Structure 1
């Protein structure tokens, strides 16, 4: 299973997950929820996700380190300020919140499996390998950061 580590770009995984959620919602029951409430919940979650993602990208750009999640070895600095004081993975959290918003819009209970699978996949095949690289590169500084700040929230 190590062959999947750092192989699927997180935005591509989120897109595939969203498409799978949509497909599942077409073939399973959905809750009857007013469309304006569905849209409001979806937009609120997606906007919050966008805020987390943009804040993460901005912090990486300010630090002049790589944004490429497929190559964590290229990280030139450990970013622990800004949004990274609250979550170690704001860009991934942002994608998750967009998926949660999509699930709210779809109103299909089985659609909630999508965000859960996204988290499980990300933890195992994206975040864990990144953390190994960052621990190797930044040692005690990264270890202390991991102790202070949670992986998701």
Structure 2
């Protein structure tokens, strides 16, 4: 098996891991009442961009090899970095879902008896789910030796993050007030100690 094929296979396995981590939380979330939500056009655009960049565009590339003109030589060191980034992404992704428990939702929502979570990965950053998406995008860029398929994940993540994070923080401030403001002062957004 070529290095490029190994990278593609590992990307597919990472996406399957993402799905199997997320699925039980989606099912449980349907049973918890939503008190308020912020579903907006910009949020829908951000979620669509993330799906397109982290799943559809790279999936199309992996399945078809198109656009072949954007391919470059795969390197073992790049695949190794991609594996580390994707494993880290899945670890953070799983820990984030576990820490959120019944508070998790795919859209900007406050649920019945919603609690401010500040343990687990939330002790280090306010938005570890975005941290996991950033790590997925980095992993994808190293696993898929194609300028379009590889970098689409970082673009999708960036669109989601910049369209959504400010609105998410406003919603949390409205819900938790001084408690969330104090939490913001102790933590960074997505990269511990940096940003």
TM-score, with length taken from structure 1: 0.77
Give the unaligned 5+ runs of structure 1: none
The equivalent residue for 1:143 is 181
Residue 23 of structure 1 deviates from its aligned partner by 6.2
Match of 2:104 among 67, 74, 82: 67
- Residue correspondence of structure 1 range 3-18 to structure 2 within 5 A: 3-7=40-44, 10=47, 13-18=49-54
Contact 2:49 2:159 in 1 (8 A): no
The structure number with the bigger radius of gyration is 2
RMSD over aligned Cα atoms: 2.7
- Residue correspondence of structure 1 range 1-153 to structure 2 within 5 A: 3-7=40-44, 10=47, 13-18=49-54, 19-21=56-58, 26-27=66-67, 28-34=69-75, 36-61=76-101, 65-74=102-111, 76-109=114-147, 111-112=150-151, 114-124=153-163, 126-153=164-191
Give the unaligned 5+ runs of structure 2: 1-38
Residue 55 of structure 1 deviates from its aligned partner by 1.0
Contact 1:44 1:101 in 2 (8 A): yes
Count of paired positions:
146
